[in-house]
Structure 1
């Protein structure tokens, strides 16, 4: 998304007629359902990703996230779930808040977008 020049233009909200977009952060929650081929048949944890950079509407709160950020969030979620099932102790070593244990229902992983970097790709885990 192109950034407006400071104080010269504002970006209108795509969801409401009176809102203007401002820089901020948002939180996304990913449910327990695991749709990928690798995880079929297993219950996964809920993953909460906080402090995600976004453009936020000052009226309705709509969040717009650029594609590069979305890709990074998806990678964090995928890696967090992988580690939760294979190497749960490693998550806490990476600075991730974990609730629950693999194999139990109700697991929750909280990942802060700004400060948490999980190993990228399965080859680096282990």
Structure 2
């Protein structure tokens, strides 16, 4: 318990940001922050529901055990290039699944070597 209190003290002393963050991405690799403060409420520690209706209104529900959830609504989504996933979204995953299935025996037979190389690679990168 003392360690927990010490951690809270340090975060408070350095004004550690509270509240959840929301990011957007057009490609799933590069992200931009929308907000970094729990929608101006430090007790909003998580976003729970993201929903876009047929009028392009985005709804965000928050997780907040102290004051209850909040539901926020935007007027519209300004960047029309952001699109929901279509039927081909998982096409690449299906290709990977096929490759793994076709090569399962080779992978299975060599898993000890693969794991050893992975751990060395991780070790070398962290040094």
TM-score, structure 2 length as denominator? 0.22
When Rg is computed on C-alpha atoms for both structures, the one with the higher figure is 2
TM-score, structure 1 length as denominator? 0.22
Larger relative CO (CA 8 A, sep 6+): 1 or 2?
A: 1
Greater helix share, 1 or 2?
2
